[in-house]
Amino acid sequence: EAIRQQAARAKEEATTVAKALAQAGAVDDEAFAAARARRLNQAGRSRRAIAAHLAAKGVDASTAEGMLEETDELAAALGHLRRRRTGPFAAEQPMPPEARLKALGALARAGFTRDLAERALDMEPEAATDYLLASRRV
């Protein structure tokens, strides 16, 4: 019984501290969501993966949706391919059909649509590199 009372008091104190921090401006879900979405997008995460990550961190759906509109899915897919050294970033060009299927599956598992995955895989190496560099500058 004493443990339950202590847990209830701790929960009340935590709520009070959280409200005080929010009123002081120390808690900004929008800024957190924007920074995290930008970082995950640059790391090659799909919008679906970013949305799931933000939801797990407690960001409400409307805030997350606003941040996701600013992400560049093609740049994220290219970042994913570059990290795996496949697609336009593969050493062997053109890619063998089985390697292409494997890369397509990896992009699908990462949450990218088939259309977007095929667009990323069909890019020329120079164009893919240029696109990634341009998206990083923005």
How far is the C-alpha of 113 from the C-alpha of 132, rounded, in Å?
19
| pLDDT of residue 22 exceeding 90 | no
Lowest mean pLDDT among 20-24, 57-61, 88-92, 124-128: 20-24
CA distance linking residue 64 with residue 6, whole number of Å: 35
- Residue 128 confidence class, pLDDT cut points 50, 70, 90: very high
What residue spans define the domains of the chain? Answer: 2-68, 73-137
pTM score: 0.74
Local structure of residue 101 (DSSP, 8 states): H
**pLDDT averaged over every residue in the chain:** 91
Cα-to-chain-centroid distance, residue 110: 10
Gyration radius (Cα) of the chain, Å: 20
Of the candidates 66, 42, 43, the residue with the CA atom closest to the CA atom of residue 54: 66
Residue 76 has pLDDT above 90, yes or no: yes
Quick count: other Cβ atoms within 10 Å of Cβ 116?
Answer: 18
